Amino acid sequence: MQADGPSEAVLRAFGAGTAERLTGGQGRSWRADDAVLKYGLGQAEVEWLHSLPPTTSVRTARPVRAADGRLIVDGWSALPYLAGGHLAGRWHDIAQAGRDLAREFADMAPPPWAAARADPWAIADRIAWEEEQLPRLAPAWLRGLADRRRHLVRPRTLIHGDLTGNVLFHPGLPPAVIDFSAYVRPVEYATAIVVVDAVCFEGAPPRTRALVLDAEAGQLLMRGILFRAVTDLLRTGAVDDSRYSPAIALLGIDR
């Protein structure tokens, strides 16, 4: 079902027409009219997303109910489509959208289902924050980077941990933040991940490091590198330091 898109029964349930696969989203998202249908979210996560308060500084979407009141139909959930696209070089605006989202959700309790997540991204995040150990297959360069972490005390709040490709821009509208990857971490950790993505995958210059507005930017960047690199390691079984060399260079450390 996931590979073929939502069935006719699912589309009817959400009042949607013909569906077309969207790029990104691990291939699990399809657009049908003014809705985006996504496969594979759990009931607890969808209910929590549905409960989030409205936002004003950024555009966000909540899961909508099917005609019979369900939030999930045959594994599919639906959200309103938010107009916009990813624009190259807008890293400053992406980081600010993440801060604005965290500010608007500052009073939200941690999602009750988050601690039980066992996907590569959740595990990598816990490893980055020394809540789990590096896997035994981690290469020496990654272990060396992990050994340079210092204990870091910062206020923690609800953040979006995968902003780079999930902030959309449209003329005359606030940025849209989609595919909420919920973590409870320091706000500037989300920015650090954006910087890692920008310099490693989008050709951003070294000065992009300055986007991380924290006196311990280096420690947050270390965790951002670990988050991305360990995710790769868990998903593929290997990770090369050359992939993350541009971000490691921002740390100014001898290797």
pLDDT reading at 3 higher than 70: no
> What is the arithmetic mean of pLDDT over 34-49?
94
CATH class of 91-249: alpha beta
Of 111, 105, 145, nearest to 233 by C-alpha is: 145
Q: What is the pLDDT of residue 1?
A: 43
Which pLDDT score is estimated for 62?
96
Task: Flag whether pLDDT at 120 surpasses 60.
Answer: yes
- Determine the average pLDDT of the residues in 210-237: 97
Q: Which fold has domain 8-80?
A: Phosphorylase Kinase; domain 1 (3.30.200)
Contact 223, 197 (CB under 8 A): no
Residue ranges per domain, the chain? 8-80, 91-249
Question: pLDDT of 95-116, one tens digit each?
Answer: 999 999 999 999 998 888 888 8
Asked if 8-80 and 91-249 have one fold, the answer is no
Residue 25: predicted pLDDT: 58
In percent, the amount of the chain with pLDDT more than 70 equals 96
Strands lying side by side in the sheet with 76-80: 19-21, 29-32, 35-39, 76-80
pLDDT of residue 255: 59
